[in-house]
A = this chain, B = another copy of it.
Amino acid sequence: MQRLRIIVDAMGSDHAPRVEVEGVLEALREGRNRFEIILVGQRVVVEEQVRALTGGGLPMGLTVVDAPEVIEMKDTPIAALRTKRHSSIVIGLEMVKRGEGSAFVSAGNTGAMLVASTVILGKLQGVSRPTIGAFFPTEKGVSLIVDAGANIDSKPRHLLEFAIMGSIYYAEMMGVERPSVGLLSNGEENVKGDERTLEAHQLLAQSKLNFIGNIEGRDILLGTSDIIVCDGFVGNVLLKFGESVLFVLKNRIRQISYKNLFHKLSMALAYGTLKKALRTFDYQEHGGVPLLGVRGISVIGHGRSSPKAIKNMILKAEEAAAKKIPACIQKALLATT
Protein backbone atom coordinates (compact mmCIF):
# COMPACT_ATOMS: atom_id res chain seq x y z
CA MET A 1 0.00 0.00 0.00
CA GLN A 2 1.26 3.41 -0.92
CA ARG A 3 1.87 5.78 1.95
CA LEU A 4 -0.51 8.71 2.22
CA ARG A 5 0.76 12.24 2.02
CA ILE A 6 -0.83 14.86 4.26
CA ILE A 7 -0.26 18.49 3.37
CA VAL A 8 -0.12 20.88 6.31
CA ASP A 9 -0.40 24.68 6.22
CA ALA A 10 2.58 25.93 8.25
CA MET A 11 1.37 29.53 8.37
CA GLY A 12 -2.23 29.29 9.62
CA SER A 13 -2.40 29.47 13.42
CA ASP A 14 -1.95 32.43 15.73
CA HIS A 15 1.48 31.07 16.69
CA ALA A 16 2.59 29.86 13.28
CA PRO A 17 4.81 28.22 12.34
CA ARG A 18 5.95 27.01 15.81
CA VAL A 19 2.67 25.32 16.73
CA GLU A 20 2.30 23.68 13.30
CA VAL A 21 5.87 22.37 13.28
CA GLU A 22 5.54 20.98 16.81
CA GLY A 23 2.26 19.29 15.86
CA VAL A 24 3.76 17.84 12.68
CA LEU A 25 6.75 16.42 14.56
CA GLU A 26 4.42 14.80 17.11
CA ALA A 27 2.25 13.37 14.33
CA LEU A 28 5.29 11.90 12.59
CA ARG A 29 6.46 10.30 15.84
CA GLU A 30 3.03 8.83 16.48
CA GLY A 31 2.38 7.61 12.93
CA ARG A 32 5.87 6.99 11.57
CA ASN A 33 5.94 5.14 8.27
CA ARG A 34 2.20 5.29 7.95
CA PHE A 35 2.18 8.65 6.18
CA GLU A 36 4.37 11.49 4.93
CA ILE A 37 3.84 15.16 5.66
CA ILE A 38 4.43 18.14 3.40
CA LEU A 39 4.61 21.49 5.22
CA VAL A 40 3.62 24.43 3.03
CA GLY A 41 4.78 27.88 4.02
CA GLN A 42 7.57 30.44 3.87
CA ARG A 43 10.43 28.00 3.37
CA VAL A 44 13.17 29.84 5.29
CA VAL A 45 10.98 30.50 8.33
CA VAL A 46 9.56 26.99 8.39
CA GLU A 47 12.88 25.21 7.99
CA GLU A 48 14.42 27.39 10.68
CA GLN A 49 11.59 26.42 13.03
CA VAL A 50 12.08 22.73 12.24
CA ARG A 51 15.80 22.98 12.94
CA ALA A 52 15.15 24.86 16.19
CA LEU A 53 12.91 22.03 17.39
CA THR A 54 14.80 18.99 16.08
CA GLY A 55 18.27 20.41 16.60
CA GLY A 56 19.09 19.13 13.12
CA GLY A 57 17.63 18.86 9.62
CA LEU A 58 14.24 17.68 8.42
CA PRO A 59 13.18 14.32 9.88
CA MET A 60 12.32 11.36 7.65
CA GLY A 61 8.93 11.70 5.98
CA LEU A 62 8.83 15.50 6.13
CA THR A 63 9.34 17.89 3.22
CA VAL A 64 8.77 21.62 2.92
CA VAL A 65 7.15 23.36 -0.06
CA ASP A 66 7.62 27.10 -0.39
CA ALA A 67 4.63 29.46 -0.28
CA PRO A 68 5.87 33.04 -0.06
CA GLU A 69 2.48 34.67 0.61
CA VAL A 70 0.47 34.43 3.81
CA ILE A 71 -3.31 34.80 4.14
CA GLU A 72 -3.98 36.70 7.35
CA MET A 73 -6.97 36.26 9.65
CA LYS A 74 -8.18 39.74 8.70
CA ASP A 75 -8.14 39.06 4.92
CA THR A 76 -11.53 38.66 3.28
CA PRO A 77 -11.80 35.19 1.71
CA ILE A 78 -12.55 36.14 -1.89
CA ALA A 79 -9.88 38.86 -2.06
CA ALA A 80 -7.30 36.57 -0.44
CA LEU A 81 -8.00 33.82 -2.95
CA ARG A 82 -7.72 36.23 -5.88
CA THR A 83 -4.62 38.17 -4.84
CA LYS A 84 -2.60 35.64 -2.86
CA ARG A 85 -2.15 32.83 -5.36
CA HIS A 86 1.18 31.92 -3.75
CA SER A 87 -0.19 31.50 -0.25
CA SER A 88 0.06 28.24 1.68
CA ILE A 89 -3.72 27.70 1.51
CA VAL A 90 -3.92 28.07 -2.29
CA ILE A 91 -0.73 26.09 -2.99
CA GLY A 92 -1.64 23.32 -0.53
CA LEU A 93 -5.15 22.85 -1.92
CA GLU A 94 -3.88 22.89 -5.51
CA MET A 95 -1.49 20.08 -4.59
CA VAL A 96 -4.44 18.05 -3.28
CA LYS A 97 -6.35 18.85 -6.48
CA ARG A 98 -3.42 17.54 -8.59
CA GLY A 99 -3.18 14.40 -6.46
CA GLU A 100 0.15 15.30 -4.89
CA GLY A 101 -1.35 14.89 -1.46
CA SER A 102 -4.37 13.13 0.04
CA ALA A 103 -5.56 15.83 2.41
CA PHE A 104 -4.95 19.43 3.41
CA VAL A 105 -4.91 20.66 7.02
CA SER A 106 -4.90 24.32 8.09
CA ALA A 107 -5.49 26.34 11.27
CA GLY A 108 -5.73 29.51 9.17
CA ASN A 109 -8.50 31.87 8.10
CA THR A 110 -11.67 29.74 8.18
CA GLY A 111 -13.51 31.76 5.55
CA ALA A 112 -10.54 31.61 3.17
CA MET A 113 -10.22 27.84 3.70
CA LEU A 114 -13.92 27.38 3.01
CA VAL A 115 -13.93 29.44 -0.18
CA ALA A 116 -10.57 28.16 -1.45
CA SER A 117 -11.49 24.51 -0.80
CA THR A 118 -14.80 24.94 -2.60
CA VAL A 119 -13.31 26.78 -5.59
CA ILE A 120 -10.11 24.78 -5.97
CA LEU A 121 -11.30 21.26 -5.11
CA GLY A 122 -14.84 21.77 -6.42
CA LYS A 123 -18.14 20.59 -4.97
CA LEU A 124 -19.39 17.01 -5.07
CA GLN A 125 -22.37 16.38 -7.33
CA GLY A 126 -25.63 17.22 -5.54
CA VAL A 127 -24.06 19.53 -2.98
CA SER A 128 -25.49 23.06 -2.83
CA ARG A 129 -23.20 24.25 -0.08
CA PRO A 130 -20.28 22.41 1.48
CA THR A 131 -20.61 22.34 5.28
CA ILE A 132 -18.27 22.43 8.23
CA GLY A 133 -19.00 19.86 10.91
CA ALA A 134 -17.73 20.11 14.48
CA PHE A 135 -17.46 17.34 17.03
CA PHE A 136 -18.94 18.12 20.40
CA PRO A 137 -18.19 15.99 23.47
CA THR A 138 -21.30 14.58 25.16
CA GLU A 139 -22.21 12.33 28.04
CA LYS A 140 -22.38 9.38 25.66
CA GLY A 141 -19.36 10.13 23.46
CA VAL A 142 -19.24 12.72 20.73
CA SER A 143 -21.85 14.30 18.51
CA LEU A 144 -21.30 16.07 15.22
CA ILE A 145 -22.88 19.49 14.72
CA VAL A 146 -23.57 20.42 11.09
CA ASP A 147 -23.41 23.26 10.19
CA ALA A 148 -20.84 24.65 12.61
CA GLY A 149 -20.77 28.14 11.12
CA ALA A 150 -19.94 27.94 7.43
CA ASN A 151 -23.46 28.51 6.12
CA ILE A 152 -25.70 31.33 7.27
CA ASP A 153 -29.31 31.68 6.07
CA SER A 154 -29.44 28.03 5.01
CA LYS A 155 -32.51 26.75 3.22
CA PRO A 156 -34.36 23.66 4.49
CA ARG A 157 -32.92 21.67 1.56
CA HIS A 158 -29.40 22.61 2.72
CA LEU A 159 -30.09 21.28 6.20
CA LEU A 160 -31.03 17.94 4.64
CA GLU A 161 -27.74 17.89 2.72
CA PHE A 162 -25.81 18.73 5.90
CA ALA A 163 -27.53 15.82 7.63
CA ILE A 164 -26.65 13.38 4.84
CA MET A 165 -23.00 14.46 4.68
CA GLY A 166 -22.68 14.51 8.46
CA SER A 167 -24.19 11.04 8.79
CA ILE A 168 -21.72 9.52 6.33
CA TYR A 169 -18.76 11.22 7.96
CA TYR A 170 -19.86 10.12 11.43
CA ALA A 171 -20.60 6.57 10.30
CA GLU A 172 -17.18 6.15 8.69
CA MET A 173 -15.09 7.93 11.31
CA MET A 174 -16.84 6.65 14.44
CA GLY A 175 -17.76 3.20 13.16
CA VAL A 176 -21.48 3.67 13.84
CA GLU A 177 -23.72 2.09 11.23
CA ARG A 178 -26.75 4.36 11.13
CA PRO A 179 -25.98 7.41 13.23
CA SER A 180 -29.05 9.09 14.71
CA VAL A 181 -29.93 12.52 13.37
CA GLY A 182 -31.59 15.20 15.53
CA LEU A 183 -32.89 18.52 14.25
CA LEU A 184 -32.08 21.32 16.68
CA SER A 185 -35.23 23.28 17.49
CA ASN A 186 -36.96 25.23 20.23
CA GLY A 187 -39.06 22.26 21.29
CA GLU A 188 -39.27 18.50 20.84
CA GLU A 189 -42.71 18.49 19.29
CA ASN A 190 -43.02 18.38 15.48
CA VAL A 191 -44.90 21.67 15.49
CA LYS A 192 -42.04 23.54 17.18
CA GLY A 193 -39.48 25.45 15.14
CA ASP A 194 -38.92 28.47 12.94
CA GLU A 195 -40.00 28.29 9.28
CA ARG A 196 -36.71 26.79 8.14
CA THR A 197 -36.74 24.10 10.81
CA LEU A 198 -40.36 23.13 10.29
CA GLU A 199 -39.73 22.58 6.58
CA ALA A 200 -36.44 20.77 7.18
CA HIS A 201 -38.28 18.47 9.58
CA GLN A 202 -40.50 17.29 6.73
CA LEU A 203 -37.52 16.67 4.44
CA LEU A 204 -35.61 14.75 7.10
CA ALA A 205 -38.66 12.67 8.00
CA GLN A 206 -39.03 11.62 4.34
CA SER A 207 -35.31 10.78 3.97
CA LYS A 208 -33.61 7.43 4.53
CA LEU A 209 -31.62 8.86 7.44
CA ASN A 210 -32.04 7.60 10.99
CA PHE A 211 -34.00 10.75 11.89
CA ILE A 212 -35.17 10.88 15.51
CA GLY A 213 -37.00 14.21 15.28
CA ASN A 214 -36.44 17.56 16.94
CA ILE A 215 -33.96 17.90 19.77
CA GLU A 216 -33.54 20.84 22.15
CA GLY A 217 -30.57 22.77 23.50
CA ARG A 218 -30.44 20.56 26.57
CA ASP A 219 -30.07 17.42 24.44
CA ILE A 220 -26.74 18.47 22.95
CA LEU A 221 -24.47 17.58 25.88
CA LEU A 222 -26.62 14.61 26.78
CA GLY A 223 -25.77 13.08 23.40
CA THR A 224 -29.41 12.48 22.46
CA SER A 225 -28.43 12.25 18.78
CA ASP A 226 -25.14 11.52 16.99
CA ILE A 227 -25.76 14.25 14.43
CA ILE A 228 -27.12 17.66 15.38
CA VAL A 229 -28.48 19.56 12.38
CA CYS A 230 -28.83 23.34 12.43
CA ASP A 231 -28.14 26.50 10.47
CA GLY A 232 -24.58 27.80 10.76
CA PHE A 233 -25.69 30.91 12.66
CA VAL A 234 -26.97 28.81 15.56
CA GLY A 235 -24.05 26.35 15.26
CA ASN A 236 -21.50 29.15 15.48
CA VAL A 237 -23.14 30.78 18.50
CA LEU A 238 -23.48 27.44 20.30
CA LEU A 239 -19.92 26.29 19.70
CA LYS A 240 -18.42 29.60 20.80
CA PHE A 241 -20.66 29.61 23.86
CA GLY A 242 -19.68 26.02 24.68
CA GLU A 243 -15.96 26.80 24.39
CA SER A 244 -16.35 29.70 26.80
CA VAL A 245 -18.12 27.70 29.51
CA LEU A 246 -15.04 25.85 30.73
CA PHE A 247 -12.92 28.97 30.57
CA VAL A 248 -15.37 30.92 32.70
CA LEU A 249 -15.90 28.10 35.18
CA LYS A 250 -12.16 27.65 35.70
CA ASN A 251 -11.80 31.40 36.33
CA ARG A 252 -14.60 31.34 38.81
CA ILE A 253 -13.11 28.44 40.74
CA ARG A 254 -9.74 30.17 40.79
CA GLN A 255 -11.26 33.37 42.17
CA ILE A 256 -13.06 31.56 44.96
CA SER A 257 -10.02 29.47 45.84
CA TYR A 258 -7.88 32.58 45.98
CA LYS A 259 -10.05 34.26 48.59
CA ASN A 260 -10.03 31.51 51.14
CA LEU A 261 -7.27 29.20 52.31
CA PHE A 262 -9.57 26.26 52.95
CA HIS A 263 -11.07 26.55 49.48
CA LYS A 264 -7.57 26.87 48.09
CA LEU A 265 -6.30 23.72 49.75
CA SER A 266 -9.36 21.66 48.97
CA MET A 267 -9.36 22.74 45.33
CA ALA A 268 -5.67 21.92 45.02
CA LEU A 269 -6.52 18.39 46.14
CA ALA A 270 -9.51 18.14 43.85
CA TYR A 271 -7.80 19.66 40.87
CA GLY A 272 -6.90 16.35 39.28
CA THR A 273 -10.46 15.12 39.41
CA LEU A 274 -11.85 18.34 38.07
CA LYS A 275 -9.30 18.45 35.28
CA LYS A 276 -10.31 14.97 34.24
CA ALA A 277 -14.01 15.91 34.22
CA LEU A 278 -13.40 19.06 32.24
CA ARG A 279 -11.13 17.33 29.74
CA THR A 280 -14.03 15.30 28.49
CA PHE A 281 -15.43 18.54 27.15
CA ASP A 282 -12.18 19.83 25.71
CA TYR A 283 -12.69 20.46 22.01
CA GLN A 284 -8.92 20.33 21.46
CA GLU A 285 -9.03 16.62 22.11
CA HIS A 286 -11.08 16.31 18.96
CA GLY A 287 -8.86 18.50 16.75
CA GLY A 288 -10.12 20.33 13.71
CA VAL A 289 -13.31 20.12 11.74
CA PRO A 290 -13.76 18.61 8.28
CA LEU A 291 -15.18 20.47 5.36
CA LEU A 292 -17.82 18.16 3.91
CA GLY A 293 -19.08 18.23 0.33
CA VAL A 294 -15.89 19.07 -1.58
CA ARG A 295 -13.90 16.78 -3.89
CA GLY A 296 -11.09 16.12 -1.48
CA ILE A 297 -10.20 16.32 2.18
CA SER A 298 -9.76 19.70 3.80
CA VAL A 299 -9.59 19.98 7.58
CA ILE A 300 -9.97 23.37 9.26
CA GLY A 301 -8.51 24.07 12.69
CA HIS A 302 -8.92 26.80 15.27
CA GLY A 303 -6.56 29.79 15.05
CA ARG A 304 -5.70 29.12 18.69
CA SER A 305 -4.81 25.48 17.98
CA SER A 306 -2.19 23.83 20.19
CA PRO A 307 0.46 21.45 18.80
CA LYS A 308 -1.74 18.62 20.12
CA ALA A 309 -4.72 19.94 18.17
CA ILE A 310 -2.59 20.14 15.00
CA LYS A 311 -1.44 16.56 15.55
CA ASN A 312 -5.01 15.37 16.03
CA MET A 313 -6.08 17.19 12.87
CA ILE A 314 -3.35 15.44 10.88
CA LEU A 315 -4.29 12.02 12.24
CA LYS A 316 -7.94 12.69 11.50
CA ALA A 317 -7.15 13.86 7.97
CA GLU A 318 -5.15 10.70 7.38
CA GLU A 319 -8.02 8.55 8.58
CA ALA A 320 -10.50 10.42 6.38
CA ALA A 321 -8.20 9.94 3.40
CA ALA A 322 -7.73 6.24 4.05
CA LYS A 323 -11.51 5.82 4.31
CA LYS A 324 -12.11 7.82 1.10
CA ILE A 325 -14.73 10.00 2.77
CA PRO A 326 -15.50 12.20 -0.28
CA ALA A 327 -16.32 9.13 -2.39
CA CYS A 328 -18.59 7.77 0.37
CA ILE A 329 -20.43 11.08 0.61
CA GLN A 330 -20.82 11.26 -3.17
CA LYS A 331 -22.35 7.79 -3.22
CA ALA A 332 -24.84 8.66 -0.47
CA LEU A 333 -25.88 11.90 -2.16
CA LEU A 334 -26.48 10.17 -5.49
CA ALA A 335 -28.50 7.43 -3.79
CA THR A 336 -30.75 10.05 -2.17
CA THR A 337 -31.67 12.05 -5.22
Residues in A lying within 8 Å of B, measured CB to CB: 139, 149, 152-153, 184-187, 193-195, 197, 216-222, 230-234, 236-245, 248-249, 251-253, 256-257, 260, 263, 265-267, 269-270, 272-274, 276-278, 280-281
| Contact with A252, one of B252, B263, B280 (Cβ below 8 angstroms) | B280
Bound state CA distance, A251 and B231, in angstroms? 29
Do B266 and A152 have beta carbons less than 8 Å apart? no
Known contacts A222-B248, A252-B277, A269-B269; A217/B194 CB under 8 A? no
Bound state CA distance, A259 and B288, in angstroms? 31
Do A194 and B153 have beta carbons less than 8 Å apart? yes
Do A243 and B269 have beta carbons less than 8 Å apart? no
Q: What are 22 contact pairs spanning A and B, CB under 8 A?
A: A153-B194, A153-B195, A185-B233, A185-B237, A216-B236, A220-B244, A221-B241, A230-B237, A233-B234, A234-B234, A245-B245, A249-B278, A249-B281, A252-B277, A252-B280, A263-B272, A265-B269, A266-B272, A266-B273, A267-B273, A269-B270, A270-B274
Bound state CA distance, A189 and B163, in angstroms? 29
Copy number in the complex reads 2
Known contacts A186-B233, A273-B256; A217/B239 CB under 8 A? yes
Do A248 and B217 have beta carbons less than 8 Å apart? no
Bound state CA distance, A232 and B231, in angstroms? 15
Beyond contacts A139-B248, A266-B272: 4 other A-B pairs, Cβ-Cβ < 8 A, are A152-B193, A220-B244, A249-B278, A266-B273
